[in-house]
């Protein structure tokens, strides 16, 4: 299995928009968000080509699109950190194959520094995934703020915040 993580050029923004639609649809079961009058979740992706600290990537497995990763510097708690894992999506077909772990480690290695990661506590698959991935990557040297009262999702749920330095 050949896994590639490729930066998305502006000309391929529509590809990322399409993947984001799938992600937002899946995500809506947790944050209860609705589509707008155009039938879109309205995720603003343009900043990823306007801000040098925003990094859009697609994930390919054997040359086929399998997900995406968005890294930026928009922090919920740690304003002095370097990177935030804004979004991370692996399509169902490619889950439970080690692809997510591989990609997460690759992204962390590519961007050394202080990381913040936010997760919705009702998304149990995400909670288990990130606990396992971050614990292994940092050898247990990370922090979790559970149910952070300062960081709320659209549905009013307090977010969990993971942070570490690599």
Condensed to tens digits (0 to 9), the pLDDT of residues 134-151 reads 999 999 999 999 999 999
- What pLDDT, on a 0 to 100 scale, did the predictor assign at position 38? 76
Q: What does pTM read for this prediction? A: 0.92
Whether 143 contacts 160, CB under 8 Å:
no
The helix/strand/coil state of 32 is coil
Task: Name the band, by pLDDT with cuts 50, 70 and 90, for residue 1.
Answer: very high
Percent of the chain with pLDDT over 90: 81
Task: Name the band, by pLDDT with cuts 50, 70 and 90, for residue 44.
Answer: confident
CATH number of 3-165: 3.40.630.30
- Which is nearest to 30 in space by CA: 143, 158, 162, 161? 158
Return the domain boundaries, the chain: 3-165
Whether 77 contacts 163, CB under 8 Å:
yes
Report in angstroms the alpha-carbon separations of 14 from 17, 132, 141. 5, 32, 38
How far is it, in rounded angstroms, from Cα 131 to Cα 60?
24
Token code pair at residue 121: 């506590």
b vs e for 95-132, b when ≥16 Cβ sit within 10 Å of the residue's Cβ? eeeebbeebbebbbeeeeeebbbbbbbebeebbebbee
């Amino acid at each position: 299995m050949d896994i590639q993580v490729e930066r998305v050029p502006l000309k391929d923004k529509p590809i990322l928009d399409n993947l984001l639609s799938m992600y937002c649809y899946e995500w809506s079961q947790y944050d209860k968000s609705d589509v707008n009058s155009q039938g879109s979740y309205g995720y603003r992706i343009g900043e990823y080509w306007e801000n040098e600290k925003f990094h859009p990537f697609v994930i390919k497995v054997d040359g086929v699109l399998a997900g995406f990763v968005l890294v930026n510097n928009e922090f919920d708690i740690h304003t002095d950190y370097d990177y935030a894992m804004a979004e991370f999506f692996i399509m169902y077909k490619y889950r439970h194959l080690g692809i997510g772990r591989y990609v997460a480690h690759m992204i962390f290695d590519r961007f050394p520094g202080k990381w913040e990661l936010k997760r919705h506590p009702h998304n149990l698959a995400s909670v288990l995934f990130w606990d396992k991935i971050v614990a292994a990557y940092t050898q247990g040297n990370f922090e979790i703020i559970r149910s952070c009262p300062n960081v709320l999702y659209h549905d009013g749920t307090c977010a969990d915040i993971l942070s570490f330095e690599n």
